[in-house]
Amino acid sequence: MTLRALQREFQRALLAGDTRFLSRIAETPGADSARRLTVYAEAYRLRLREALEVDYPKLRTLLGPTQFAELADTYIGRHPSRHPSLRWLGRHMAALLAQTAPWSAQPVLSEMAAFEWAQGEVFDAPEAGVVAVAEIADIAPPDWPRLHFQAHPSLRRLDLSWNVVPIWQALDQNESPAPPSAATTPQAWLLWRRQLDIHWRSLGVEERWAVDAWRRGAAFGEICEGLCEWLPPEHVPVHAAGLLKSWVDAGLISVLVLD
Amino acid sequence: MRETPATTSRPYLGYGLGLRTEHYDSVLQRRPAVDWFEITSENYMIGGGKALHILERVRADYPMVMHGVSLSIGGTDPLDEDYLGQLKALAARVEPEWISDHLCWTAMEGQHLHDLLPLPYTEEAVRHVAERVCRVQDFLGRQILLENVSSYLTYTCSQMPEWEFLDAVARRADCLILLDINNVHVSSHNHCFDPLDYINALPAERIRQFHLAGHSHNGPIIVDTHDQPVIEPVWQLYAAAVRRFGMVSTMIERDDNIPALTELLDELQRARTIAAPILKSSAA
What is the per-residue pLDDT across A190-249, written as a single tens digit (0 to 9) for each?
A: 999 998 999 999 999 999 999 999 999 999 999 999 999 999 999 999 999 999 999 999
Where do the DSSP E strands lie in A175-247? 182-194, 197-203
Q: Where are the domains of chain B?
A: 5-36+115-283
What is the rounded CA–CA span in Å between residue A9 and residue A86? 23
Nearest CA in chain A to B117: A40
CATH architecture type of domain B5-36+115-283: Alpha-Beta Barrel (3.20)
ipTM of predicted complex: 0.94
pLDDT of residue A181: 97
**pLDDT tens digits for range B100-119:** 999 999 999 999 999 999 99
What is the rounded CA–CA span in Å between residue B55 and residue B64? 10
A54 in contact with B, Cβ within 8 Å: no
CATH of the domain at A219: 3.90.930.50
Is A37 part of a structural domain of the chain? no
Other beta carbons less than 10 A from residue B9's beta carbon: 9
pLDDT of residue B283: 81
Q: Running along chain B, 284 residues long, what does each successive block of 10 average in pLDDT?
A: 54 97 96 97 96 97 98 98 98 98 98 97 98 98 98 97 98 98 97 98 98 92 91 97 98 94 96 97 83
Instruction: Categorise residue B72: left if φ over 0, alpha if ψ from -120 to 50, beta otherwise.
Output: left
**Can you give the residue range of the structural domain that contains A250?**
128-259
pLDDT of residue B6: 46
Give me the total of CB pairs closer than 8 Å, taking one residue from chain A and one from chain B: 137
Is A70 part of a structural domain of the chain? no
Query: Are the CB atoms for A153 and A147 separated by under 8 Å?
Result: no
Is A67 part of a structural domain of the chain? no
Is A110 part of a structural domain of the chain? no
- Residue B133, φ and ψ in degrees, nearest 5: -60, -45
Is A109 part of a structural domain of the chain? no
Chain B residues 88-107 with CB within 8 Å of chain A: 105-107
State the average pLDDT over residues A155-164.
98
Query: By three-state DSSP, how is residue B121 classified?
Result: coil
pLDDT of residue B253: 96
Instruction: Say how many domains are in chain A.
Output: 1
Is A240 part of a structural domain of the chain? yes
A22 in contact with B, Cβ within 8 Å: no
Where do the DSSP E strands lie in chain A? 147-151, 156-162, 182-194, 197-203, 253-258
What is the rounded CA–CA span in Å between residue B273 and residue B267? 10
Is A149 part of a structural domain of the chain? yes
Is A50 part of a structural domain of the chain? no
Interchain pair A44, B42: CB under 8 A = no
